Amino acid sequence: MRVLFLFLISFLSISCAQRLDEFEARLNDLDERSRFLEGRSGVPSGSSEPDVLEGRRLADLRSQLTTIRNDQTVMRGQIESLEYQNQALQDRIQQMESQVSRAQRSPRSQRGNEAARGPDGLYREALRAHQTGNFDRARLLFLRFLEERPEDPLADNALFWVAEGHRLQGQHAEALVRYQDLIENYPQSDKRCDAMARQADSFRNLGMEAELEAFTEIMNAECPTE
């Protein structure tokens, strides 16, 4: 999409430059005609008309000369406008190319920074993202942490926060799956009962009343409340 947009802007810039060349050629032609008519009238550009030159032929020549001068003024204004548009297009092309270049470098740079931080730093950044409501980024970082260190003491917490992000975004079916992953993969986790309580909430939000009733019996047996 970016490549297509840059191509369109480049095409417009070329078209603008071509129109500018055409206008300049027409302006040069008008300049030549103006000098020719001034030579025939014998009156320099900008001078007042002598009283002795009142003949019909000279009056007609002066009328043509005035028209040409007006055309020249309009043409110069159009050329200035085209020059401005052409420069604006060139600036826009440079801006887009710079944005594309930064976008191409960004993922590689981001991965390098995360690698430099190490798994612990990755977990802390993921938790900060979750706490600030950036659940998509938090989930990405937590899952990367789990991939790198599935046996880490914080792995069960990471999986819990992944599930929490889904739940807080209203993605209750996905949350159910992630909470269950925690329960099955980390049965000794201190987050186990919290995960089951959240699963009950997700069943309720999904309108799965029969499943909720059966699950509540299991949860109460495994996680009795005092």
Q: Indicate if the alpha-carbon torsion angle 183, 189, 191, 194 is positive or negative.
A: positive
User: Do residues 223 and 187 make contact, with C-beta atoms less than 8 angstroms apart?
Assistant: no
Higher pLDDT, 154 or 119: 154
Q: Which residues contact 173 (CB under 8 A, 6 or more apart)?
A: 202, 206
Give the model's pLDDT for residue 50: 53
Q: Indicate if the alpha-carbon torsion angle 130, 136, 137, 140 is positive or negative.
A: positive
CATH of 118-222, one of 3.40.50.1100, 3.40.605.10, 1.25.40.10, 3.40.50.180: 1.25.40.10
Per-residue pLDDT of 17-63, as tens digits, reads 666 677 677 777 777 776 776 666 554 545 555 555 555 665 666 67
**For residues 120 and 17, what is the distance between their CA atoms, to the nearest angstrom?**
56
Higher pLDDT, 191 or 11: 191
User: Minimal CA–CA distance to 186: which of 215, 161, 211, 150?
Assistant: 150
Per-residue pLDDT of 125-170, as tens digits, reads 999 999 999 999 999 999 999 999 999 999 999 999 999 999 999 9
Q: Which pLDDT band, with edges at 50, 70 and 90, does 12 fall under?
A: very low
pLDDT above 70: residue 95? no
User: Do residues 219 and 196 make contact, with C-beta atoms less than 8 angstroms apart?
Assistant: yes
User: Minimal CA–CA distance to 74: which of 40, 36, 16, 27?
Assistant: 27
3-state helix, strand, coil in the chain (%, to 5): 80, 0, 20
Determine the residue type at 58: L
Per-residue pLDDT of 169-198, as tens digits, reads 999 999 999 999 999 999 999 999 999 999
Spans of all domains in the chain: 2-114, 118-222
